[in-house]
Amino acid sequence: MISTHNSYWFWGYPKAGLGTVIVLGGDEEDNKRSCAGLTLAAVHTCHYCIPYENNMPIYICRGLRVCPAEIWEVEKNFQ
């Protein structure tokens, strides 16, 4: 599990083996630009969550094109 949110940002990412990742949410077109191959694996629905977290797509991203360091630089999220 890696994330750029709060303390997860400090814990970082693996130095190797990030070729295939599971992506929770995000814009599909953005995700396609970052992956050699993007597959919609599932859509997560929930009755009691806030609306923008309902119907969240879960993608499998193969062949990550973006450098993780670049993601960490841009997506740092402390809130």
* Shortest separation between residue 32's beta carbon and other proteins, angstroms: 27
Does residue 75 bind other proteins (CB under 8 A)?
no
Q: Does 50 bind other proteins (CB under 8 A)?
A: no
Cα-based angle 60, 48, 77 (whole degrees, multiple of 5) = 55
Q: Pick the closest to residue 41 from 59, 55, 53 (CA basis).
A: 59
Note whether 1 binds other proteins by CB under 8 A. Answer: yes
| Nearest-angstrom CA–CA distance, 54 and 8 | 23
| Residue 55 is a binding residue for other proteins (CB under 8 A) | no
Residues forming contacts to other proteins in the complex (CB under 8 A) are 1, 6-11, 48, 78
